Chain A
Amino acid sequence: DIQMTQSPSSLSASVGDRVTITCRASQGISNSLAWYQQKPGKAPKLLVYAASRLESGVPSRFSGSGSGTDYTLIISSLQPEDFATYYCQQYYSTPLTFGGGTKVETK
């Protein structure tokens, strides 16, 4: 199974900050990576797929990049509604696996 390691596990930030979340795969996954946002008590929401493609309706302040084993989700200017937990997921091979999550909290 491909292991996905996210860092940091949590971070504190303020509205307007640039936030960077990293996801590392245990082997190369050829950009087969998605990012999700989850708010407390809610289902995850797809943000990015194919490492860098923004899902329809997702604000442009979100962006994804990376290649090989290392991928990044960037929020260019954090908004109040962005405080949440973010997960990466690889789909290079089954079983589909998720990272452990990064909780973005208010500083």
Chain B
Amino acid sequence: NAGVTQTPKFRILKIGQSMTLQCTQDMNHNYMYWYRQDPGMGLKLIYYSVGAGITDKGEVPNGYNVSRSTTEDFPLRLELAAPSQTSVYFCASSYKGALRNTEAFFGQGTRLTVV
């Protein structure tokens, strides 16, 4: 009954450091997403994936990288962290197929501060 699991929940990075935000889902969903949400703002799509081995840029991909080597996992890599990347990051997954689409299920978020 895990759904979408993100780790860590909180992190403080220094400018220029790198880190990977982990995301895993156990619902056999083909679509996975990474969003960022700045304070008081809506969601901005960073990257998404429609299946293992396939990734695409969203609205704000600069400064981030992703990979999708398995159906379950969709890690987000921050290289050379900058203060502008201070945000709350949400991972989500959904199923999209010929006969049905599910809603997106969200992780609990990772609150990242870059100082």
Chain A bound to chain B: no
Q: What is B's interface to A at a CB cutoff of 8 Å?
A: none
Q: What is A's interface to B at a CB cutoff of 8 Å?
A: none
